[in-house]
Amino acid sequence: MKLIIGLGNPGKKYEQTWHNVGFLAVEKIKKDKEFPEFKDSKKFKAEICEETEIKEKIILAKPTTFMNNSGQAAKALIKFYKIEPQDLWVVHDDIDLPIGKIRISQNASAAGHKGVQSIIEELGTQGFVRFRIGIQPENPGRVPTEKYVLQKIDEADKINQSLNNTATAIDLALMNGVSEAMNEFN
């Protein structure tokens, strides 16, 4: 069983913002794989959908907490489904990667990402897999990070390519393992 959590902020105000590329990625996976619609679960503090693919259950989740409390949803889902940390895959934005790039990491620190830090704190481990989607502006530092991540995405072509690459990387990881996906995409 794999739990794939896309990080973002709930609500219309935050749709299509840089900080919500994790949500966009799991929505793309849901669409590509023709999974059922997301359903809001107050119990898990997330919207979830699940499907069995290649003899393995896949759960997609979008926390309904704000980014900085993403760990609450991750912890509730992991406890209920009895998922091991290495079977938690977190998809999120990364301000340190150029737009259009993705990186896969495992057992890594939060590197300043408050959503990832929340998950590490709630789970007491950083032993999960991360699919990081680059959102770095062309001129870093011109706009404070806290403001930039909440701006609307203005590089749709590059982000769409990143989302396609992320979905492909996750497919490869599901079929052949995370190491192979890292070799292909890092």
DSSP states of the chain as a string? Answer: -EEEEE----SGGGTTBGGGHHHHHHHHHHHHTTPPPPEEETTTTEEEEEEEETTEEEEEEEESS-GGGHHHHHHHHHHHHT--GGGEEEEEEEEEEETT-EEEEES---TT-HHHHHHHHHHT---SEEEEEEEE-SSTTSS-HHHHTTSBP--HHHHHHHHHHHHHHHHHHHHH-HHHHHHHH-
Query: What pLDDT, on a 0 to 100 scale, did the predictor assign at position 47?
Result: 97
Query: What pLDDT, on a 0 to 100 scale, did the predictor assign at position 183?
Result: 95
The yes-or-no verdict on residue 78 having pLDDT over 90 is yes
Q: How many beta carbons lie within 10 A of that of residue 97, not counting itself?
A: 16
Query: What pLDDT, on a 0 to 100 scale, did the predictor assign at position 145?
Result: 86
Q: Is the pTM of this model over 0.85?
A: yes
The yes-or-no verdict on residue 158 having pLDDT over 90 is no
Query: Greater confidence, 155 or 120?
Result: 120
In this prediction, residues 157-164 reach a mean pLDDT of 92
∠ CA 66-2-132, nearest 5°, is 55
Q: Give the chain's domains with CATH numbers.
A: 2-185 (3.40.50.1470)
- Which active-site residues does the annotation give? 19
Asked whether 120 and 71 are in contact (CB, 8 A), the reply is yes
pLDDT tens by residue, 43-52: 999 999 999 8
The yes-or-no verdict on residue 83 having pLDDT over 80 is yes
Task: Give the pLDDT band (50/70/90) at residue 156.
Answer: confident
Q: What gap in Å lies between CA 31 and CA 117, rounded to an integer?
A: 28
Among left, alpha and beta (phi > 0; psi -120 to 50; other), residue 90 is: beta
